[in-house]
Each structure stands twice: as structure tokens, then as C-alpha cells.
Amino acid sequence: MKKILLTLIIVGGLGVGAPIVGSMLTQGQKQTADNDLGQQFDRFNLLIKKEPSYVKIDGKQSEKQEPGGYMYHQKVVSESGKAYDLSYYAGDKLKEAAYLKLDTKGRFVETWEEVQKEDIPKNVLSKMETL
């Protein structure tokens, strides 16, 4: 019984601890189409909460991917006002200077949608304009 309990504690500790440690270790790495390790760690990290982030599209920050689509590497601003680097994928070239609302959990982007400038919180918009 003790061995089973110890095994469950170790497996549980690894299941919770690995994403937390992985998030910290992959913090500075640039995201690419074939390197999404940091995003996957953030996706399962229990210490990171989901929150919307906003970005204004800059086509110069995109890379064409093979066999298709574009990977964007830009500074985004979370709803709490934190600015950070983020990479996200789009199947087609996005409209220049459009605003996106990204549903994020750390560096993991679940979905994104185009929004109007008026729909962005004022504190986030003012922070975006200083980037």
C-alpha cells in the first residue's frame, strides 16, 4: 500500500511540476512552427491563468511557413496590462494594422479573432501604443 501511495504522489508531482518547470525553462525561446514546447508547457501549467491578450498586426513580424500559413512573432499586451513576446500561427496572411484578441494561457494561444479598436480595454490600448 505504501508503494502504491508513493508512486501516486511521485506521478502526481511530475504531472503538476513538469509543466511549471518547463514553462520557466523555455521562457526566452522563440516560437517556430516546429518548436512549440514553451506553449505546451504553458497550456498545462496550473499556475498560469487564461486571459485575453491583444495585438495590432504587423506583417513585417511574420514568417511564411511551409507547406503554408504564417507564423507571427510580436509583442502582445494582456488584459492585465503585461506586455510580452508571443508567437501565433495564422493559415493566411492577416490584414495589416488589424487588431486581434487572442485567448491565451501564458504563451499558448487557444484562439484569436479580429476586433475593433473600440472593443479593446483603454489601459491595454494605451500600453499597445507605447510599444
Which domains does the chain show, CATH number per domain?
Answer: 2-129 (2.40.50.480)
The CA distance from 18 to 15, in Å, is 6
Nearby residues of 2 by Cβ (< 8 Å), 6 or more positions away? none
Other Cβ atoms within 10 Å of 67 Cβ, number: 4
What CA–CA distances, in Å, run from 48 to 43, 61, 67? 8, 26, 32
Please give the pLDDT value at position 34.
44
Q: Would the pTM of this model clear 0.85, i.e. be above it?
A: no
Please give the pLDDT value at position 32.
46
Give me the half-sphere count of Cα atoms (radius 13 Å) on the Cβ side of residue 12.
Answer: 6
List, for residues 62-109, the tens digit of each pLDDT value: 888 888 889 888 999 999 899 988 888 888 889 999 999 999 988 888
Rounded mean pLDDT of 7-28?
59
Q: What angle do CA 82, 83, 86 make, to 5 degrees?
A: 120
List, for residues 32-64, the tens digit of each pLDDT value: 444 566 677 777 777 888 999 999 998 888 888
